[in-house]
Every structure is written in C-alpha cells, then in structure tokens.
Structure 1
Amino acid sequence: MSKIEIETWIKADIDKVFDLARDIDLHQKSTSKTNEKAIAGRMTGLIEENETVVWQAKHLGITQRLTTKIISMEKPHQFTDMMLKGAFKSMIHQHLFKQKEGYTLMKDHFEFESPFGIIGKLFNTFFLTSYLKKFLLERNRLIKETAELLQSHEVAI
C-alpha cells in the first residue's frame, strides 16, 4: 500500500478549515485541471458522515469515476473517506485537524493501492504517488487560501 502524508498550517479557525475541507463545491474548484465533478450522491455543500459522492474526472487522459463514502467524522477534528468503487484496488483518506495558537494544522493521511500486482506497485512508485501528492497539495493550497481570506475579513470587521 502506498502512503502520502501532508501537513498544512492554516492561519484560521479549526471549524472554518474543517468545513472547507469537506466542501464539495470548493473541492471541484481545486480540481478544475481534471474537470472533476460530483455527479451523484452529495453533489454540493458540506458532506456529512455516511454520505457518498460519485466523482467523475479525467486523469491521465481517461475519464474515470470514483465513489467515496465518509466512514467516520468527529467535528471538527477528523473525517475519513474511503473508496467504495473506482480505479484503485483500495483507497482511504483520513483528514485530521488540530487548533494551535491561532493556527489550524490540517493533516492528510492518504493510503491507496493500485490493481495489477507488481505492475501497479511500480506505477505507484514511479508516477502515481507523485501525481496524487500534487493533486492533494493543490486542494490544500485552495483550502488554506480560502480559509485565511475568510478569517482576515472576519478580523477586519
């Protein structure tokens, strides 16, 4: 199983960051390069525990669908989504949040396994892990940018 771990410090309230991280509309905005769209299940707003979403996107020149479900949620400290159906053999993404001195630490623990045995493992090692990390970093950049902008407007008022 391949793993990606990312830490992002955000100068904003934990509740705001938590909500932005599970915002379907913001996720779609962060994935505009792959034209990722929610096409079934929860398609807009804030996803909740036990809800599913079906994503459709073009990755590596191929249109793909991925069905995920929020399998656990403890507001505003964590939520976990898991692939129910899609191109991976397995995929689980844990989102963790911690408030510290005016900042929120947002952690991503992303684990995935590709099909096709050793060929899938080689593909993960030489390409897919890097591709997915860039994908997650872009998502986190937009969450950080949006949360800090919203926070600064609240402070200015």
Structure 2
Amino acid sequence: MSRFEVTTLVPAPPPVVFDVSLSVDVHTTSFGHTGERAVAGVTSGMLALGDRVTWRARHFGITWHLTSVISVCERPSFFVDEQVTGPFRRWHHAHTFEAAHDGAATLMTDVVDFAAPVPPLGTLADLLVLKRYLRRLILLRNAHIQAVAAAPDQR
C-alpha cells in the first residue's frame, strides 16, 4: 500500500474551496486531458455524503472506470472519497480544509492511500510510476481548484 500527501494554499475561504472541491463539473474540467467524465451516479453538480459517482478516464492508454462514494462529509473542513469498484485494491482520498490568512485563504491537504491492483506486478508499477503519476494528477487538480475558487465568476 502507498500513501502520499499534497498541501495547497488556495486564495479563497474554506467553505468556497470545500464546495469547489466537491463539484463534479470542476473535477471533470480539471482532468480534461484524460477525457475523464462522470458516467453514472451523480454526474453533475455538488457531491454530498453518501453520493456515488462512476468516473471514466483514459490513463496509460487504457480506459478505466472507478466508482467512488463520499463516505465522510463535514462541511467545510473535511471529506473522504473512497473507491467502491475500480482498478485499485484500495483507494482512500481524505481532503482537509483549514482557514489561513485570517480566513481569506485555505490550506487544502489531500492524503491519498492506495493499493495498486494485481500484486506483485501492480506493486512494481506503483514503485516505478503509479505513485508519482497520481501525485501529479492531484497537483493538476489542485491548481485548477485554486483558479476556480479564486475567480467567483467561474464557479
């Protein structure tokens, strides 16, 4: 099993960043380069506790489907999405939002715990590329969240 953490300062208050982070539409546009889109469950708008969404995207030349559920949701400070079905043996993504700069900004932290599929080949893939690849995807997503949250007319 692997784990990584990414912390991003977003120039907007926690409730705004929290809501932007739970937007299916923002998520989809942040991963446009993978063709990712919601194909089942909640396919647009805001996700909430218990909501499921099935994502379809192309990574490493293969089309993948991953269904996740919002298993914890405590607005505006914390939520968790977890894989229900999909390519990972385990996917647990915790999102925390802490006020910074007197509440005018948010320190957003992503903690991703995952287990690659099909050991031992999946474990080898994780060591060689998967963890680095997933971290880069989270960084791209967070840069998009920064831009959307900082520009209220784009939410």
SS of equivalent residue, structure 2 residue 45:
coil
Deviation of 1:150 (Å) = 2.1
Moved over 3 A (4+): none
Determine if the alignment matches structure 1 residue 94 to structure 2 residue 94.
yes
Aligned partner of 1:57 in structure 2 is 57
SS of equivalent residue, structure 2 residue 120:
helix
Aligned partner of 2:116 in structure 1 is 114
C-alpha distance in 1, partners of 2:34/2:56?
Answer: 9
Aligned-residue RMSD, C-alpha: 1.3
Residues 118-129 of structure 1 aligned to structure 2 (within 5 Å):
118-129=120-131
- After TM superposition, the score normalised by the length of structure 1 is 0.93
Indicate the percent of aligned positions where both proteins have the same amino acid.
34
Q: How many residues align?
A: 152
C-alpha distance in 2, partners of 1:70/1:149?
Answer: 26
SS of equivalent residue, structure 2 residue 48:
coil
Residues 1-157 of structure 1 aligned to structure 2 (within 5 Å):
1-101=1-101, 102-150=104-152
AA in 2 matched with 1:145: A
SS of equivalent residue, structure 1 residue 117:
coil
Larger fraction in helix: 1
- After TM superposition, the score normalised by the length of structure 2 is 0.94
Instruction: Return 5+ residue gaps in structure 2 as ranges.
Output: none
